[in-house]
Amino acid sequence: MKKRIILLSSIILIIGLALAIGLLAHHKPTTSPAPQPSTKAVTPKHKISRPLTVTELNHNSQLRDTCIIYFAVKHTKLQRWQELSDFKLGWQVERYLKHHPDKYLVWPDKNITSAEKNLEPNWFKLTTTGKVTYDSMIVHSFRQDQTATTTLAKIAQQLNAEHKMATVRHLSHNLNQLTHKNK
């Protein structure tokens, strides 16, 4: 009888182990539920800015001057315009209305004082047709000034192609404008 009990116990133990192993083999580990597709529209990481237009530049002088300066620093080969490349300092633009077309002197640092204006600044002229002429005096030289020309349309096209619309719109807040009726 003792042998029967041992045999029966062994069979029950083997069946129990087999069932336990079977359950463990079919048991899925708990994981987080699969992400459900959302109905929310995916927004791009970078905010898409509207393109610059000549009309917008003609109606917003601060943005126009910023685009002209940014273009000069990044795309002309006029060495002294690099003095304006510290975009954090900003710029001060002095407009002289007696010249035809108007002449715009560009100083580095939007908070520059008269005492700090020792060297002739870079400047540009802007015609009513949108032609921009950059001028830069060559320091310690008796040579002619360096010049470059472009148009507002080309500036807008270039900045749009480089996706710099938001950049120049932001930088336009870092520009002070002064207007003089003579000189």
Residue 149 lies in a domain: yes
Q: For position 122, what pLDDT does the model report?
A: 93
Residue 160 lies in a domain: yes
pLDDT, greater one: 13 or 59: 59
Which range among 32-36, 47-51, 124-128 shows the weakest confidence by mean pLDDT? Answer: 32-36
Residue 28 lies in a domain: no
* Ordered strands of the 146-151 beta sheet: 146-151, 131-136, 122-126, 103-108, 91-96, 175-180
Which range among 44-48, 85-89, 130-134 shows the weakest confidence by mean pLDDT? Answer: 44-48
Query: In the predicted model, is pLDDT for residue 134 greater than 70?
Result: yes
Residue 130 lies in a domain: yes
Residue 11 lies in a domain: no
- For residue 82, the enclosing domain spans 54-178
Q: For position 28, what pLDDT does the model report?
A: 58
User: Tokens representing 78?
Assistant: 């006029």
Residue 9 lies in a domain: no
Query: What is the spatial distance between Cα 104 and Cα 110, in angstroms, rounded to a whole number?
Result: 14
Query: What is the spatial distance between Cα 145 and Cα 147, in angstroms, rounded to a whole number?
Result: 6
Question: Taking residues 123-139, what's their average pLDDT?
Answer: 91
- Residues 141-162 pLDDT 10s: 666 788 999 999 999 999 999 9
Q: For position 23, what pLDDT does the model report?
A: 64
Number of domains in the chain: 1
Residue 32 lies in a domain: no
Q: For position 38, what pLDDT does the model report?
A: 59
Contact criterion met (CB below 8 Å) for 135 and 146: yes
Residue 121 lies in a domain: yes
